[in-house]
Amino acid sequence: MTPLSEQEIIRREKLQELEKLGINPYPAEEYPVNNTAANIKALYTEETKDQFQDVCLAGRIMTVRDMGKAAFVKIQDHTTQIQLYIRRDDISNGEDKTMFDTVFKKLLDLGDIIGVKGYAFITKTGELSIHVTKLDILAKSIRPLPVVREKEGEVFDAVTDPEFKYRQRYVDLIVNPQVKDVFIKRTLILKTIRDFYNEMGYLEVETPILQPIPGGAAARPFTTHHNALDIPLYLRIANELYLKRLIVGGFEGVYEFAKDFRNEGMDRTHNPEFTVMEMYAAYKDYEWMMRTTETLLEKIAIALHGTTEVQVGEKTINFKAPFRRISMYDAILEHTGIDVSAMDEEQLRATCNQLGIHVKPSMGKGKLIDEIFGEKCEAYYVQPTFIIDYPVEMSPLTKKHRSKPGLVERFELMVNGKELANAYSELNDPIDQRARFEEQLQLMERGDDEAMYIDYDFLRALEYGMPPTSGIGIGIDRLTMIMTNQPSIQDVLFFPQMKPEKMA
């Protein structure tokens, strides 16, 4: 066990002193909060002050200014901070000044959670405050918070260490309240998407996270074992094949906010556990999906910012529809000067060597083209751009292009140099789908550990007949990064994956 610091020892001693005074530092009963700091600050005026003569607030002590027989305290509730004015005679019972002189002045610390009752007023210096008439201890903090000082609106000693922020997010949220705004906006993004699809009459559903076959994407899965059935199971890498089964079953449109898991590297845009919204609509194609997607993203930008323009670092990204469209082959030609459209696998491998792109022997034609695009083109697409019409080898679940041999009807939406969404005219020919799966099996046998498994039950579902369908997956974490101007995926996840903490 880690030795206690001096401050931690002192706080534990204070905890015991409170208990000796008959005060429960962790009371169980409901506390009758009837207002918030933000609401009082927003609505209090000379005309409305009568509405704030009996307020009850609860929050965490952030600062204390001791004035002798009175004190100014700032508490922080879930909305913001507000000042309290606490006088000895107001919170003490008659001649017994223990509540102020001992409990408040000696046994309370920064970080303690208190409840107060009183009335709002404006101090002589013009600051809205709560004149406290009763004070209650709701939770004693026995570990000190990092000290963050503020003077004339400028913050000093802010907690910025990523290791601390991500591992102890609960502290980050307390001492850096602006962090909370990112997650409030993330929730607004989800709400906007839900409202958009619900208005279209589509159904939000849930599909299995533990799957017998990790299908629907090219990725390495996490593997576990089910003891009762004595079978391996996989954390899902995508929910696509289950959602398509529901389209076979007769739903017009379904969508799901899915936690997916991929046993791959971690960096500022990748976390092994991530959130994807996948949606599938019957009797639609990828052209319809492009129009629908740009309309959705335009709505999200306006919902968060009141405009289609979003600031991302030093760039201004405009989500005003329509977005630019360019084929993958044309994108590679645009940024390398090389036409790869008619190349076979060996020619593509030679082109990668020419361009200085490291490739593995296990990579097939589709992976090689993907590597060229990722290394030489992706970063240039800052403004929202649909990269369309992919080679058939890259897209084993996608319908062949209606007019361009060798291509499929697929798009990826690129924003700020990264993929934000991936969508298809879904393959619904069960014979073609079986052949594509078998090609993936050959890649797996060559050593490609991201090749797709064959899902025979999904093939059986297609054999019953799936209507023409379009589907899309949108990365919610990356979308939140862009919409909230955050440089790292760890900044938009409450609890990102980290290396195990070294505990004494």
Contact 132, 91 (CB under 8 A): yes
Sign of the alpha-carbon dihedral angle for 358, 363, 365, 369: negative
Q: What 3-state class would DSSP assign to 328?
A: helix
Contact 336, 372 (CB under 8 A): yes
What are the tokens at 34? 């009837």
CA distance 106 to 330: 72
CA distance 479 to 472: 14
Backbone phi and psi for residue 57, each to the nearest 5 degrees, phi listed first: -125, 160
CA distance 24 to 83: 25
Contact 226, 264 (CB under 8 A): no
What are the tokens at 56? 């009850």
Cβ partners under 8 Å of residue 4, min gap 6:
12
Half-sphere exposure of 85 (CA within 13 A, CB side): 13
What are the tokens at 403? 């007019």
The response to whether 419 counts as a known ligand-binding position is yes
Closest CA to 493 of 478, 473, 482, 483: 478
DSSP 398: B
Q: How far apart are the first and last CA of the chain?
A: 6
What are the tokens at 77? 């509730």
What are the tokens at 370? 């993907």
Q: What 3-state class would DSSP assign to 295?
A: helix
Parallel/antiparallel/unpaired status of strands 309-312 and 273-282: unpaired
Parallel/antiparallel/unpaired status of strands 210-211 and 223-226: unpaired
Backbone phi and psi for residue 379, each to the nearest 5 degrees, phi listed first: -65, -20
Q: Binding site residues for Mg(2+), as ranges?
A: 412, 419
Q: Binding site residues, as ranges?
A: 412, 419
